[in-house]
Amino acid sequence: MTIVEEKYTAAQVAVDANLAEGKDWQKSNVDRRIRRIGFTGSAADQDTRIDVYYGSEKVMELRNQAIGLMRPRVSTFWHTSKLTLPAGVPMNLTVVTAASSNAVYLFIDFAELR
């Protein structure tokens, strides 16, 4: 299991930005799946959209479900996936609608499939 917790400034959450790029959790040498993923932040509920890709295949869309950096409340807004992210394939988090003015908080819980 790998837990990812990231905070991004509004400037980092710009249209077409890949929030996973350069992160050590973007790729793995074992198959994985998302057990839980969620994010909060920005200045208005649901004003930011991030598309999740396994390689070039889009697997889900996420929108912020609460304003502010609310780690304790992110668990209220989980999304899950039963799709496998194959070993060596990068996970990409592409910003479609940018954060309006405030930072965002991202949480991912990966299950390693061995």
CATH topology assigned to domain 2-113: Jelly Rolls (2.60.120)
Cα 31 to chain centroid distance, Å, stands at 18
CB 4 within 8 Å of CB 25: yes
Please name the residues in contact with 31: beta carbons below 8 A apart, sequence gap of 6 or more: 84, 85, 86, 87, 112, 113, 114
Cβ atoms 105, 39 nearer than 8 A: yes
Residue 85 gets which letter from DSSP? B
pLDDT band (50, 70, 90) for residue 103: confident
Model's pTM, two decimal places?
0.88
**Average of per-residue pLDDT across 66-75:** 60
What mean pLDDT comes out for the span 92-104? 89
Say if residues 42 and 10 touch (Cβ distance below 8 Å): yes
